[in-house]
Copies of this chain bind each other. A is one copy, B any other.
Amino acid sequence: MERIGKFFFHGAFSGALLMLLALPAMSTELLPSWGEGEAKAAIVDFVTAVTTEGSSDYVPPADRVATFDNDGTLWSEQPLYVQLAFALDRIRDLAGDHPEWRDTEPFKSVLAGDMAGVIATGKHGLAQILAASHTGMSSEEFSRIAADWIATARHPKSGKLYTSMIYQPMLELLDYLRKNGFEIYIVSGGGIEFMRPWAEKVYGIPPENVIGSSIRTRYELRDGQPVLMRLPEIDHIDDKEGKPVGINKFIGKRPIAAFGNSDGDFQMLEWTTSGEGRRLGLLIHHDDAEREVAYDRTSAIGKLDRGLDEAPERGWVIVSMKTDWTRIFPK
């Protein structure tokens, strides 16, 4: 029994076994934080169709690939991408070793807490912040830095841990898909090595299923020990057209379902839903100013404009956080 117990808590075995054992009990509790509207119906219809053997829409488990954007889709991206908050915190942490930053942009503005000043330094300033905060250490060191930070860093408005600012309905959706034999990937514009240290604990998504933007690394020996050093050079931007490119490179299969919230996810949904057979494309619309934040067509972060226009003709589901979700954050 101990042996069985061990496997019971690991990976696909657990998912498959749980499904066999738990199906009757589950059906009454399906996606409990989703209201009984069109969005939930579309999800359940899709999953039922692709998992029903003999159905013309049936998809074998090996091809049940689902991809999820992270920022704004699985967790909050307002008022600032979490990774940017991490970068700014890290600049402040490192400032003691860099007295020259007191008089040099963009660091001067970061240290003064002047976000307008930071933004005024443009892409070049952002690249400098990224290089100073994210590179020059080994991948393993960066992993520890990111894990340590996320363990205590808190959202500026709610005061909650960032890892609590995740969407309960999406956790339920991840779980529902897993129980139906889906392989789930994060496909995010965020940094791959920023997300991997905590994505498994927070979402149940292991490092090898996290795809994101990356910088180049170089294999070298340091004191005789091999390390992968993080270089200040972009390897891949996993946003817009970069999402299908990243999916194809990492997975080598076209997803049958894709979930996002902004125009940065447009091509991922387009690529996914252009494939043959039954597909699902879904966009989360941040329209709940009371329980979260309302933003879409003109937002600097998570802009959703073209997606809103074209979703109907493309058959994509638009989820209203306000009306489709009975709960936003976990208890």
A residues sitting closer than 8 Å to B (CB atoms) are 2-4, 6-7, 10-13, 16-17, 20, 53, 60-62, 139, 181, 183, 192-193, 196, 206-208, 210, 214, 217-220, 225-226, 228, 235, 241-242, 244-245, 248-253, 267, 270-271, 274
Contact A192/B249 with A20-B3, A244-B219 known, Cβ cut-off 8 Å: yes
Taking the closest CB of chain B, its distance from the CB of A27, in whole angstroms, is 16
Q: Could you tell me if A10 and B62 are in contact, using CB atoms closer than 8 angstroms? A: yes
* Copies held by the complex: 2
Contacts of A181 in B (CB 8 A): 10
Chain B: which residue is nearest A210 at the CB level? B252
Contacts of A4 in B (CB 8 A): 20
Q: Could you tell me if A248 and B226 are in contact, using CB atoms closer than 8 angstroms? A: no
Taking the closest CB of chain B, its distance from the CB of A187, in whole angstroms, is 13
Chain B: which residue is nearest A216 at the CB level? B245
Contacts of A208 in B (CB 8 A): 183, 250-253
Contact A219/B241 with A11-B12, A62-B10, A214-B249 known, Cβ cut-off 8 Å: yes
Contacts of A241 in B (CB 8 A): 218-220
Taking the closest CB of chain B, its distance from the CB of A254, in whole angstroms, is 8
Pick the contact of A219: B193, B210, B226, B267 (CB < 8 A): B267
